[in-house]
Amino acid sequence: MGVSKKEIRIGMIGYQFMGKAHSHAYRDLPFYFDPKLKPVLKVVSGRNESAVSEAAEKMGWESYELDWRKVIERDDIDVVDIVTPNHTHAEIAIAAAEAGKHIITEKPLALTLDEARQMYEAVKKNKVKHMICHNYRFAPAVQVAKKLIEDGRIGKIYHFRANYLQDFIMDPEFPLVWRLKKEVSGSGSLGDIGAHSIDLARFLVGEFDEVVGTMETFIKERPIGEMAGGLSAKSDKSTLGEVTVDDAVTFIARFESGTLGTFEATRFAGGNRNKNKFEINGEKGSIRWDMENMNNLEVYIADDEPGLQGFRLINCTEEVHPYAGAYWPPGHIIGYEHTFIHLIYEFFNGIADNQQPAPNFEDGVKNQQVLTAIEESSKSKRWVKVSDF
Amino acid sequence: MGVSKKEIRIGMIGYQFMGKAHSHAYRDLPFYFDPKLKPVLKVVSGRNESAVSEAAEKMGWESYELDWRKVIERDDIDVVDIVTPNHTHAEIAIAAAEAGKHIITEKPLALTLDEARQMYEAVKKNKVKHMICHNYRFAPAVQVAKKLIEDGRIGKIYHFRANYLQDFIMDPEFPLVWRLKKEVSGSGSLGDIGAHSIDLARFLVGEFDEVVGTMETFIKERPIGEMAGGLSAKSDKSTLGEVTVDDAVTFIARFESGTLGTFEATRFAGGNRNKNKFEINGEKGSIRWDMENMNNLEVYIADDEPGLQGFRLINCTEEVHPYAGAYWPPGHIIGYEHTFIHLIYEFFNGIADNQQPAPNFEDGVKNQQVLTAIEESSKSKRWVKVSDF
Amino acid sequence: MGVSKKEIRIGMIGYQFMGKAHSHAYRDLPFYFDPKLKPVLKVVSGRNESAVSEAAEKMGWESYELDWRKVIERDDIDVVDIVTPNHTHAEIAIAAAEAGKHIITEKPLALTLDEARQMYEAVKKNKVKHMICHNYRFAPAVQVAKKLIEDGRIGKIYHFRANYLQDFIMDPEFPLVWRLKKEVSGSGSLGDIGAHSIDLARFLVGEFDEVVGTMETFIKERPIGEMAGGLSAKSDKSTLGEVTVDDAVTFIARFESGTLGTFEATRFAGGNRNKNKFEINGEKGSIRWDMENMNNLEVYIADDEPGLQGFRLINCTEEVHPYAGAYWPPGHIIGYEHTFIHLIYEFFNGIADNQQPAPNFEDGVKNQQVLTAIEESSKSKRWVKVSDF
Amino acid sequence: MGVSKKEIRIGMIGYQFMGKAHSHAYRDLPFYFDPKLKPVLKVVSGRNESAVSEAAEKMGWESYELDWRKVIERDDIDVVDIVTPNHTHAEIAIAAAEAGKHIITEKPLALTLDEARQMYEAVKKNKVKHMICHNYRFAPAVQVAKKLIEDGRIGKIYHFRANYLQDFIMDPEFPLVWRLKKEVSGSGSLGDIGAHSIDLARFLVGEFDEVVGTMETFIKERPIGEMAGGLSAKSDKSTLGEVTVDDAVTFIARFESGTLGTFEATRFAGGNRNKNKFEINGEKGSIRWDMENMNNLEVYIADDEPGLQGFRLINCTEEVHPYAGAYWPPGHIIGYEHTFIHLIYEFFNGIADNQQPAPNFEDGVKNQQVLTAIEESSKSKRWVKVSDF
């Protein structure tokens, strides 16, 4: 059988939770969609040979490297995918940009706003395409929300409220993994999950004007466990180490549009495994979405006829809904992993068409500005202008 | 048939929305419960004779007065019930206290914190019983939540988040009713509905330490309509007047217990007719409640067996649930009006037993402190200590 | 204050669960609505003097009688309200009709179809007004459903499915109360709760054509307790008696309209305290309702625009919704007891206007025909034409 | 990189909706799980060369054949996967069995019970492993339900009620596709979706004893469109053809265990895209599941402490839940397609271990017995013993 679609060859740095999500998306993309470039899983890198070789085998990568620099040096790589802990993003991305590779990276973009800006400069200077994995934008239901807003169906937006609630570190015996160390992760719930809510807000409502928030670490010390990636790890109870990031953050915001925002991101909301939800109230309608039922969008349309007004529960699995037509008949739901397929689809088509897709490093920088402003406001106990950073 | 239960004679000042809710509660109380005092609906007062006489007839009051002072002067009145607009609460309450009447009043307690404190001084000095109508405490489901917390079933509380969302003034043609004028109502969504969320937070979590928030008036001018009470009114489009209260407020808080709070009160949340909801996340469990399904409480218990953990949807209509046994068999739900019956029940029993029930004027003062701190923080754009007021 | 509205004087036979619901409705009706006749709670009857006198006092009846015949003989009674166990309905109703009293009775109409028909003949012959308490018709949300259907908004109805699920007798120690004895109650879940689903089906879809069903008694013997009314009773474990009614019934139906029906009524559905729900699927739309959230109606409108189709969750608490305007602002929910207020409102207005309201004894007869056909089909194990009875 | 896991080579007959679901499962299986055999997508067959070659390319099959017999003749095929319309299952499966291939087929097993039995005989005689794709068993939440029942946590089961509601053919212009012709599909909603509910019932409750049901075709004639597979097709309005299968079926059942069953399967339930739901009520607990929120299971446990009883909403995405640990952290949901991965996993492990997994052709036969009994009861209008067929 003849295949002549142009290939795009990927080198992935890292192979844990996000590496798995990305690898799967590369594999599934051509099955469901017809992207302009066909992904080839060329090489994955990691420092632990037995682990990285096993991951390569399991996830379908052609080869592996022990040093990420080798991946960047390789001529047979078009895209560098960065799924390592946050403190490594900048160095890798800048090197990849200088090597002329297109770049896709996990969020948050970097440890600091400075780093983030350097990364963005690097990709602009080297004229490569870039993307940051705010995958939740790509749930079909969120795309429907976006379209409603763009089409003026919601009108002026008065309120945006978002919670991102998890509970996986509530046990004080949960160990001090890298996500709990500031020097590796930058921040805690703020940058890990709050950043997703901030991205959804920017996507749907526009830019933040000012913020005020407060961060809290409920459990200050934890057993020192293995520091490598992954959400779970065995703990060594004999020694405790300091948690240097926030367990929770709550903040309020004003957007340039005049919208009021209310946000909360926490890993201490028992019973909420991964409740990433938002609500929008506008002049002409309201929208509600919750990742735990990600296929549904709730939409209220103010000019529905009197007596029959109410939130509509829309199962966004029909051909008319973005991306949904590629899968199954209506009502046959998709899941978390599919959001990555859609993101990669847009990335590859952007590369093919020489168009820069979003969210990209510019979005990453703007997101990091908001993160920085929140951290600053948590210290100064004042409202902070996002544009001051 | 012989009846010898001691009566308690009520004089109600005002007769609109809240007057209706209170009147109904007095009528229904002895039907469902066995309070220690039997209410007698003695007199209702209002300035418009045809309206107040019609209200008296409709709601079952024995007589009416056109001047509220007459009510307070009457010897056959034990309790004065204040359901007039907010700016009148202080004068009436202080006069009633000095006349030795027990007092029940709608919330917020007063226009200002100063007034509120004077009211509280007056009831203390005159040794009368007092109550403020934060009725939502008395939903059976909220009482179940309270008991779970008191029994240590939730553990240390990390998060309290509350929304009180309405949409009844979103239409710019909605007139400038008294609730939209600061000199009559004190504030807008903040004191009207935000005060309820604050009360629930104080009831369930404890005292506020500090707050920061922001208030917004989305529609600055509205048609001048009739200024008398009531939520709806006909508008006169020819003249516009200034809206002098907030349409929406969003704020975050820290409690003395270390709990983080996130709050939003708005009248601009389309599709939310009266969504008064809160969520609590604690060390050992979580709780969710929503007034629109007020008979249900959602409870997550962290030490439920692995694999079977999840929010329980508890229909609080069983005999084991507070107040619920007085009504119908399990599953036959009650509504908004019943919360007032429970509140009045506690008030009358408190009077009979010479015990001061809650929420009372002290709660009203503390609530008003929080309201004041939020208003101040909205101006100063800083966190504000509640104890500074 | 002058009142000159014509009174309607009620004598109620029985005073347990349903007596309480009816008494409350009489008391509340003039508070919320403006019926053409003003109810006077004249007399209640029961055989146990201390119990009936206490009930009279508690529920606000002017007097009591120990013999129901006395109530019927009294000249100062316009309406006889029958809330006694089912086996007494016929005798009382026929006597009341012959005495020229209007009659309202609990469901099911009678023990047998023969009795039911005699009752219907009696009210017709004596030209009195009559009503049967299928109260669920009168939930505002159900009225909205009715109007949608009548207005052609649902189109041809393909499916009606109803469950009425309870769990109050699942404990084998629950005693042999009157509801579990065929000679007193006629049937079990079939006539007690299945009859409600049948009434809702007749109200919304039309007449049944044929049915086939099966009845089951999961617990065949129970402790003999007090046989008097009431849903709960203390059990005497020493002696067991036979349960002679069905614990559960499931049946399917064809309606004259061609609609297919699926029904289930059971007292053995753990966790379902009083789940009375139905769904309708029609050519142009679908409807869902559940008594446990009785203020809401879910409506799907097939010609909503593509991409935004979904069930609307309509909170039927607005002025535009039937009966709802008499209560509170939108979003402030009502409960079970209010359905009785609406039913009584229609009954009294019917009497005042000399119009026969529904549901009435004719509906009771037709309902009993369906009950009889189901019982027969459960025995014969065949489809049974309802018109054969 | 060295790989030495034993391969299992698949030949798939057909390539439409179900072919896509199966192909995806083969691709994803080794990515997420560690099955004992590694699938190789060897060959796919179809009669339309351009379509089958495109499908092979898109879905990752190594080659294609135009005649299904070629697939069976090939030595390099271990498993034959049948995803063609129902009328072809028997011939293909019997040929495959005789060629010694393991067989997996879509449901229903065959057009008729006779065919189904011949198929089962063939696989038994030729000692090959066999499976039928009742994929919904393999939702993690359904597996949790199964385990609860097996562990005695639900006790004796009183009720099983299931709806399978779709709406994709409600438009009278929807064409006469193969699923609407009895000679190709055997039956309509009964065998297509009702068969899934029957399988879930057999899996969770046990064998059916007797049934009575009724089938209906609401739209008797439809435009003749393309008859090939697929759920959607363009219609040619000029000619109408007869719909020879049921649009809807509703039936009740008694199980050998004494459980009462209520079932409905329809393609005429507007707003329900693919609502496959069931409820179980047992002595000690209840269970609810709905495919539209397939990651959740609702469980009621009767001996939960009084006052805190209620359905738990369990998000079955934790490591402790069957299959879920292979995917993402808790709360990151999976979708429809994953049920097929789990089914294939069990099939391949069964082959590797020489153990016959379920559901298999025996289940297919028993399912078809129930389908046959329902069809017969719809004609005879009587209860029918399943064992009579």
Q: For residue range A39-54, what is the model confidence (pLDDT) as tens digits?
A: 999 999 999 999 999 9
Q: For residue range C76-129, what is the model confidence (pLDDT) as tens digits?
A: 999 999 999 999 999 999 999 999 999 999 999 999 999 999 999 999 999 999
Helix (H, G, I), strand (E, B) or coil at C76: coil
Q: Which residues of A touch B285 (CB under 8 A)?
A: 270-271
Nearest CA of chain A to the CA of B247: how many Å? 10
Contacts of C114 (CB under 8 A, 6+ apart): none
Please give the pLDDT value at position B227.
Answer: 47
User: Side-chain half-sphere of D47: how many Cα atoms within 13 Å?
Assistant: 3
Of residues C209, C287, C205, the one with CA closest to residue C252: C209
Two tokens, residue C210: 């044929």
Instruction: Give, in order, the Cα–Cα distances in Å from C357 to each of C74, C83, C138, C349.
Output: 25, 19, 12, 8
Q: Check CB contact under 8 Å for A307 and C301.
A: no
Do residues A62 and A79 lie in contact, with contact meaning Cβ atoms separated by under 8 Å? no
For CA atoms A294, A296, A297, A298, the dihedral sign is negative
Residues of chain B that touch chain C, judged by Cβ-Cβ distance less than 8 Å: 1, 3, 17, 21, 23-24, 27-28, 30-31, 53, 56-60, 63-64, 166, 168, 231, 272-275, 291-295, 315, 317-318, 327-338
Of residues A160, A99, A164, A167, the one with CA closest to residue A136: A164
Alpha-carbon gap, residue D8 to D25, rounded angstroms: 14
pLDDT > 90? residue D236: no
Contacts of B114 (CB under 8 A, 6+ apart): none
Could you give phi then psi for residue D352, rounded to 5 degrees?
-60, -40
What letter does residue B388 receive in the DSSP assignment?
A: G
pLDDT > 90? residue C277: yes
| The residue to which tokens 């347990």 are assigned | C16
State in Å, rounded, how far the first CA of chain A is from the last one: 55
For C3, which residue in chain B has the nearest alpha carbon?
Answer: B57
Query: Percent of chain A beyond pLDDT 70?
Result: 95
C239 vs C261, residue with greater confidence: C261
Q: Which residues of D touch A273 (CB under 8 A)?
A: 315, 317-318, 329-332
Neighbour count for residue B83 (Cβ, 10 Å): 23
User: Side-chain half-sphere of D143: how many Cα atoms within 13 Å?
Assistant: 18
Average pLDDT over residues D125-153: 98
Q: Check CB contact under 8 Å for D270 and C383.
A: no
Q: Check CB contact under 8 Å for B159 and A268.
A: yes
Report, as ranges of residue numbers, the positions in chain B whose pLDDT lies below 70: 1-4, 225-237
Q: For residue range B56-110, what is the model confidence (pLDDT) as tens digits?
A: 999 999 999 999 999 999 999 999 999 999 999 999 999 999 999 999 999 999 9
For A62, which residue in chain D has the nearest alpha carbon?
Answer: D1
User: Which value, to the nearest 10 degrees, does the dihedral of the CA atoms of residues B183, B184, B188, B194 take?
Assistant: 120
Please give the pLDDT value at position D229.
Answer: 46
Instruction: Give, in order, the Cα–Cα distances in Å from C312 to each of A159, A310, B272, B292, C130.
Output: 22, 5, 13, 15, 36
Of residues B48, B40, B119, B35, the one with CA closest to residue B82: B119
Peptide bond connecting C172 to the previous residue in cis, omega within 30 degrees of 0: no
Two tokens, residue B131: 């109550």
Q: Which residues of C touch B317 (CB under 8 A)?
A: 273
User: Side-chain half-sphere of D328: how many Cα atoms within 13 Å?
Assistant: 23
Of residues D106, D126, D201, D128, the one with CA closest to residue D162: D201
Strand bridging mode C248-255 / B208-216: unpaired
Two tokens, residue D141: 């939440």
Alpha-carbon gap, residue B179 to B186, rounded angstroms: 8
- Please report which confidence band the pLDDT of residue A5 belongs to, taking 50, 70 and 90 as the band edges: confident
Average pLDDT over residues D21-41: 97
Average pLDDT over residues A82-97: 96
Amino acid present at D110: A
What letter does residue C106 receive in the DSSP assignment?
A: P
Please give the pLDDT value at position B225.
Answer: 67
Of residues A9, A31, A29, the one with CA closest to residue A21: A29
pLDDT > 90? residue A267: yes
Query: Percent of chain B beyond pLDDT 90?
Result: 94
Question: How many residues does the structure list for chain C?
Answer: 389
Please give the pLDDT value at position C231.
Answer: 45
Q: Check CB contact under 8 Å for A329 and D17.
A: yes
Residues of chain A that touch chain D, judged by Cβ-Cβ distance less than 8 Å: 1, 3, 17, 21, 23-24, 27-28, 30-31, 53, 56-60, 63-64, 166, 168, 231, 272-275, 291-295, 315, 317-318, 327-338
| The residue to which tokens 């007459």 are assigned | B70
| The residue to which tokens 């005060």 are assigned | B195
Nearest CA of chain B to the CA of A110: how many Å? 27
pLDDT > 70? residue D45: yes
Q: For residue range C343-375, what is the model confidence (pLDDT) as tens digits?
A: 999 999 999 999 999 999 999 999 999 999 999
Nearest CA of chain D to the CA of B284: how many Å? 15
Strand bridging mode B63-65 / B311-315: unpaired
